[in-house]
Structure 1
């Protein structure tokens, strides 16, 4: 079984990388100047990562393309206002 995680690009990339590092997760090819949209998680098999524009992350989760995503609360709220029946939740 694999876990698909959507990561934000842009201004949230650096704080997200720091948060993941504090949790012991080292992401290669994310904030080190790489232009790759598919970074890798060191030492973790079965975890697929993809970088998206922050506003697209709740949509990717709602569509079932990704299991988890990191974005600002504003984009999550916007999705839920537009589509209140979506099963996307804040953790």
Structure 2
């Protein structure tokens, strides 16, 4: 499985360097072809990759570490595992509030929550499991999660108090008069697979060939 969206360009470039050609198929943009015999590809959203791998629909997939963590926080017993860090498509996962809010840290937000006696802190995010864990780890109770599906910055400040979001440059946040109060972690693309993966010898050989080609390319890039 290959990701669409902002990770698609860096992913295809990395695959090309690894000698894995991916070509768009006329009439089937989500099912490109490749020069690797016996390998089929499907392009889906990176947030859907972990579930596809867990369900056995994909043997290997490229997604973001952010979406992998969100999946594993929600399903701790999932068979999905990270095989290889790819180092492309880097973003930061951050906690964001309106510039109008007089806080600059999760501690300040917790204190404001306590003083103002809010019925619940409204937390908007596409990463509902990461957001839930962040709220619990930082004792931001009581809180209410608001799932979003893109353009999450529009929720602040009228419809949410806190946003858990990914950023590359931060320009979009600045345009919406928002500020980062905490950097949670840095995420980049990664190759994932399943501990429950089954198949014959030829299938395993193809999977190993893909993994080795990507690992070799990443190692060579690190030496440049």
User: TM-score category by the smaller chain?
Assistant: 0.7 to 0.9
How many pairs are equivalent? 82
Q: 22, 31, 41: which is aligned to 1:38?
A: 31
Q: TM-score, length-normalised on structure 1?
A: 0.85
- Find out whether 1:57 has 2:52 as its counterpart: no
The structure with the greater share of residues assigned to strand is 2
Aligned to 2:141: none
- Find out whether 1:16 has 2:11 as its counterpart: yes
Once the two structures are superposed, what CA deviation does each residue of 1:33-73 show, in whole Å capped at 9, x if it has no partner? x861100002x211010000110011100111000100110
Structure ranking higher on relative contact order (CA contacts 8 Å, 6+ apart): 1
Q: TM-score, length-normalised on structure 2?
A: 0.35
List gaps (5 residues or longer) in structure 2: 84-224
Aligned to 1:84: 76
List gaps (5 residues or longer) in structure 1: 1-5
Rg larger for: 2
After the TM superposition, list the runs of 4 or more consecutive aligned residues in structure 1 that deviate by more than 4 angstroms. none
Aligned to 2:193: none
CA RMSD, Structure 1 to Structure 2 (Å): 1.5
